[in-house]
Structure 1
Amino acid sequence: MAAIRVASTSFTIRASTSSSSSFSSSCYNFCPSVFTKFGFGLSYAATPLSFSRGKRMAHSITRAALGLTEPKKIDPPKISFSAKEIDLVEWKGDILAVGVTEKDMEKDENLAFKNVILQKLDLHLGGLLSEASSEEDFTGKAGQSTVLRLAGVGLKRVGLIGLGAASARTAYRSLGESVAAAAKTSQASSVGITLASSDGIAAELKPSTASAIATGAILGMFDDNRFKSESKKPALESIDIIGLGTGPEIEKKLKYAKDVCSGIILGKELVNAPANVLTPGVLAEEATRIASEHNDVFTAKILDVEQCKELKMGSYLAVAAASSHPPHFIHLCYKPPGGTIRKKLALVGKGLTFDCGGYNIKTGPGCMIELMKFDMGGSAAVLGAAKALGQIKPDGVEVHFIVAACENMISGSGMRPGDILTASNGKTIEVNNTDAEGRLTLADALIYACNQGAEKIVDLATLTGACIVALGPSIAGVFTTNDDLAEEVFRASENGGEKLWRLPLEETYWESMKSGVADMVNTGGREGGAITAALFLKQFVDEKVQWMHIDMAGPVWNGKKKSATGFGVSTLVEWVLNNSS
């Protein structure tokens, strides 16, 4: 087998202070025969790393490392939203969609709707709604929908979308997604969305309801077709949200929905991008581009191998040692435009752009090695949140976005089972499983975050299969010793429409993590694997810092759709905003 040549460069990147989105870099090029020795005995032949210049969309990932695969440039959905208070029968457009609960679908003895809005709309349509709902047994259950084609009434189609027994934020987001699906099927350009029971929603909740609907519609219209040879561009241009009020507050919430969705879409694109396209260097470039596009509030620092060595990041560098793509330690710093800082936060994301497991290589059914491009889902959530917050620009809070990006591969210079690593806080780790690599990279990332003066740290990682076994594919596991922080993040997740479940940090389980020759091992066996992983991370966080670990191995990926979910972005943005007030 041919030897693997590993590239390394020394460079520092900072966001430009001008309005240009290009950035400056300092690259030191070495003769290929020169070797850089790591402190733990790894050697690399150095070659230069090149960056493309000029403004590009954040989702247009740079050229592939191999396979000749270059993603097409696609634009995310560009939909204009308007909040309106008009009579439904006067609205004109391609699709009028009405969200209905099961109660809204109740009828009297004459099979006429009891709901006033449905009654009026049905009368305008000559009884088509009541007739169709009876024939199709449409009762308003969540997931149900019926769309009718019309003629001569100013509408091309009218649809009823089921919300279930009760309305909630997730139901309203699903309403937006269902309308988007109908719009894509019919190639509609203009859509109106309303609720049959909008009068029952408290006035202060109507802007948030409109925001949830808009979020669902934007994400529902998004298809990641960058790697498909053919794709159809959606026709939807405008959505009118009817009956939920008008004015500055609802307009603000609709803009917020657009900003957060831009971050979610970036997160999806980063996770969907294959490892031959999204390398650690490309992930660093994407991060730097975020800072360049919002250089009034962001600075970017990308640490190379030598700089990480100076910081004694032996745990992180050991994981990166076998890959032909050098590691890139990413640090974005957000500072509010007003200059007043009341709280300092850090968001840390696991950034394994591919994980083969190392010498404990992933084998057998269920190992999911073919999906290990999603092992950087934590970093995608962190960078997606950075993009959204760069547009929202909250006051009063400084935020550090930190990613130790690398690949976990196999070569003669790679980390071996039995090796002892030294993290940047001096603690030593005996590697008893090279496939438990994410926690090794996060160890040095968490130490770095503490050194930035962060008062609160949230890390996100696709860390353990054990968490998927415990909570399934839709719920992330949460670990923290701080009840106040738990309350903050859970409140943010409810507003963001994402599911979290708190699991215990059982200290007695630490016994299984002790080593006979080092301070600790990096895995503690099959039982309670998600808990022992969190306990491992806890060793690298300052006791004075409020810290939370989110294991998002399940919800990072939608198995049915075979694509990324963008999980984590909504919760992180909400949490930062709640800390900014």
Structure 2
Amino acid sequence: MKFQSTHKRGENWASDVVVLPLCVSDLGKSPLLKRLDRALKGNITKTFHQEKFKGKWGETKLIATHGALRTRYFWFVGCGPEKDFRCDYLRRAGGHVARLARQHQFQKVAWLPLQRKDWGKTIADDCQAITEGILLGSYEFSRYKKSKNPLHLSEVRFMEIPKGVRDLAQKIRLGCVVAESVTLARDLVNTPAKDMTPHQLGLEAKKALKGISVRLYSKKDLKRFKMGAYLAVAQGSTQPPTMVHMQYRPASRSQGTIVLVGKGVTFDSGGISLKPPTSMETMKDDMAGSAAVIGAMKAIAQIKPPVTVHGIVPATENMPSGSAIKPGDVVRAMNGKTIEILNTDAEGRLTLADALVFGQRFKPDVVIDVATLTGACVIALGEKCAGLMTPDKSLSDRLLQSAEKCGEKMWPLPLLEEYKEEIESPIADVKNNGGRWAGTITAGLFLKEFVNPKIPWAHIDIAGPSWTDKENDLGPRGGTGSMVATLVHFVTHYSQSLGSS
């Protein structure tokens, strides 16, 4: 798909549809809207009045030009009151238009700017968000379908852009890079576990990531590293574990080191603590944390930030068998701490424990792990919001700012030390299950046991937003690519945030 920009009028290009986003205050005031209405002899105003279009968020209206102009349709998208406007509205509007384009087999889309206050300063960011939305809304996972629903949309032009807008082409390109990386993460999550084994996940990372080193560690290597917690999860499966280590280094002097760790359980049956059948139906997505990290590393390799980034994925299956770990067993993690396993379905934290210890070998300035870790997080925050846990207020603020900028929902949860007693074990240093209450927080406290307290660390639980059961503006049912964009924004702005802190 080709994205271009021009200062020319939108209705003068032979497109299938011209898109104009509108705030509530634009109705009756927008010079663009008045001009288009005159071109259609008042039909826009008449249609808005008849169908009570007010420009509220979520409202849309498609109006045919009936040959009066070179474009076939106008598509008006409500963005609500200007004071409540968020850039994510344009991202979602882009997705909505992409899905409309598939439905109507549109090939060319012209997009007019939302002329809100100071829009000349924000137009590059607006175009990035729209680009991301169009590409994400175009996404379909049809690898296993005989009949396809092809996308005909081939060109998008941002029209009536003032001359001299700074960084416009760069921002549009960045939108493409981010969306392509989210798409990679979605593909990894949506691929069935039969085909996306731990080793295959590593091979997919190698194939997708250009310009960075990717090393795959075998079961033999994990034994050499003494990763007893990670190996304990893997021992019930006939598929051997594979740890993926991705490394990006800037060409110039590095301004810091970031370690990203993603949970990579390619199928989670619960192990001996077996899940109910309906709870296993989407458990191919239990590697969504690893998909987020691999997707982020793809974008980072193209953007080339001035920081060193390590991506670590402890990939494995969690299966029941005669060789599977059992409730009551005790294992030793890479840092020497012993773990009493009370629930084999609390396996993700075991793999992350060893991966977090491994990541600290690289003397990072910050460590972030991403995981579909607890159902308790979905109960607390729902299916659209990730949970953030960190003892570092500055790191929390930066991650929340990145998530907001990228249109991803994230909410901080406290790592209350009072709950630490819930993971104390009478026979080991720690146990892997804190009981029924505050399950997301006790899982975070468990991971904290494996991170040097001097290193800023954050845990992001994406058990809710990693998967959607319903089609929405930004994609179909399935994996969402949650946190790819947030991680990319955080990493690429990391050195800037250091300078301002």
Range of TM-score over shorter length: over 0.9
1:145 lines up with 2:60 in the alignment: yes
Q: Where do residues 104-503 of structure 1 align in structure 2 (5 Å cutoff)?
A: 104-105=26-27, 113-152=28-67, 153-166=69-82, 167-195=85-113, 197-198=114-115, 200-247=117-164, 249-291=167-209, 293-294=210-211, 298-338=212-252, 340-363=253-276, 368-394=279-305, 396-503=306-413
Q: Does 1:574 align with 2:489?
A: yes
Write the letter of the residue equivalent to 2:335.
N
Amino acid at match of 1:304: S
CA distance in 2, matches of 1:243, 1:486: 39
CA RMSD of aligned residues (A): 1.3
Match of 1:525 among 435, 438, 441: 435
* Secondary structure of the structure 1 residue equivalent to 2:26: coil
User: Offset of 1:92 from its aligned partner?
Assistant: 2.7
Larger deviation, residues 507-516 vs 161-170 = 161-170
**Tell me, what secondary structure is at the counterpart of 1:341?**
coil
Find the residue that maps to 1:231 and give its secondary structure: coil
Structure 1 335/246 Cα, relative in aligned 2: closer, same or farther at 3 Å? farther
Between Structure 1 and Structure 2, which shows a larger proportion of helix residues?
A: 2
Maintained 8 Å contact 2:128/2:174: yes
Q: Distance in 1 between matches of 2:161 and 2:368?
A: 35
TM-score (norm 1): 0.82
Contact 1:89 1:124 in 2 (8 A): no
Q: TM-score of the superposition, structure 2-length normalised?
A: 0.95
- Give the whole-Å Cα distance in 1 for the aligned partners of 2:217 and 2:9: 58
Alpha-carbon separation, structure 2, partners of 1:255 and 1:234: 20
Q: Does 1:94 align with 2:16?
A: yes
Native 8 Å contact 2:10 2:110 kept in 1: no
**Greater mean alpha carbon deviation, residues 411-420 or residues 156-165:** 156-165
**Can you list the C-alpha shifts for 1:194-253, whole angstroms capped at 9, x where unaligned?**
13x415234332110111111111111111111211112211111111234455610000
Identify which range, 245-254 or 501-510, moves more after superposition.
Answer: 245-254
Equivalent residue, structure 1, for 2:474: none
Contact 1:263 1:388 (8 Å CA) reproduced: yes
**Counterpart of 1:501 in structure 2: which amino acid?**
W
Displacement of 1:534? 0.1
- Distance between the aligned counterparts of 1:192 and 1:314, measured in 2? 56
- Residues of 1 paired with 2:121 and 2:18: CA distance? 25
Distance in 2 (CA, whole Å) between partners of 1:179 and 1:246 is 26
Cα offset for 1:135?
2.1
Secondary structure, in 3 states, of the residue corresponding to 1:271? Answer: helix
- Map residues 26-105 of structure 1 onto 2, 5 A cutoff: 79-105=1-27
SS in 2 for 1:518: coil
Counterpart residue number, 1:536: 446
What SS does structure 2 have at the residue aligned with 1:404? strand
Structure 1 residues 320 and 246, CA gap change in structure 2 (3 angstroms): farther
Show the counterpart of 1:516: 426
Deviation at 1:141, TM superposition (A): 1.6
> Structure 1 residue 550 and structure 2 residue 460: aligned?
yes
Aligned to 1:23: none
Cα drift, residue 317 of structure 1 = 0.3
Task: Give the greater-gyration-radius structure (CA).
Answer: 1
CA contact (8 A) 1:290 1:386 kept: no
TM-aligned CA deviation for residue 436 of structure 1? 0.2
Contact 1:198/1:243 (<8 A) preserved: no
Contact kept, 8 Å, 1:161 with 1:178, in 2: the verdict is no
Secondary structure of residue in 2 paired with 1:360: coil
Tell me how far 1:163 sits from its aligned partner.
1.2
SS in 2 for 1:282: helix
Partner Cα separation in structure 2 for residue 397 and residue 457 of structure 1: 13
Q: By how many angstroms is 1:168 displaced?
A: 1.2
Moved over 6 A (4+): none
Q: Which 5+ residue runs of structure 1 have no aligned equivalent?
A: 1-78, 106-112
Q: Which amino acid aligns with 1:369?
A: M
Native 8 Å contact 2:11 2:18 kept in 1: no
Segments of structure 2 that go 5 or more residues without pairing to the other structure are: 472-476, 497-501
Aligned equivalents of 2:197, 2:359: Cα separation in 1: 23
Identical-pair percentage: 39
Distance in 1 (alpha carbons) for counterparts of 2:29 and 2:336: 70
Distance 1:97 1:84 in 2: 15
2:12/2:71 contact within 8 Å kept? no
Counterpart residue identity of residue 50, structure 2:
E
Contact 1:299 1:332 in 2 (8 A): yes
Distance 1:495 1:504 in 2: 23
Name the SS for the 1:164 alignment partner: coil
1:150 positional shift:
2.4
Residues 1:533 and 1:83: Cα distance change in structure 2 (over 3 Å): same
Cα distance in 2 for residues equivalent to 1:83 and 1:168 = 22
The secondary structure found in structure 2 opposite 1:501 is strand
User: Which AA in structure 2 matches 1:523?
Assistant: N
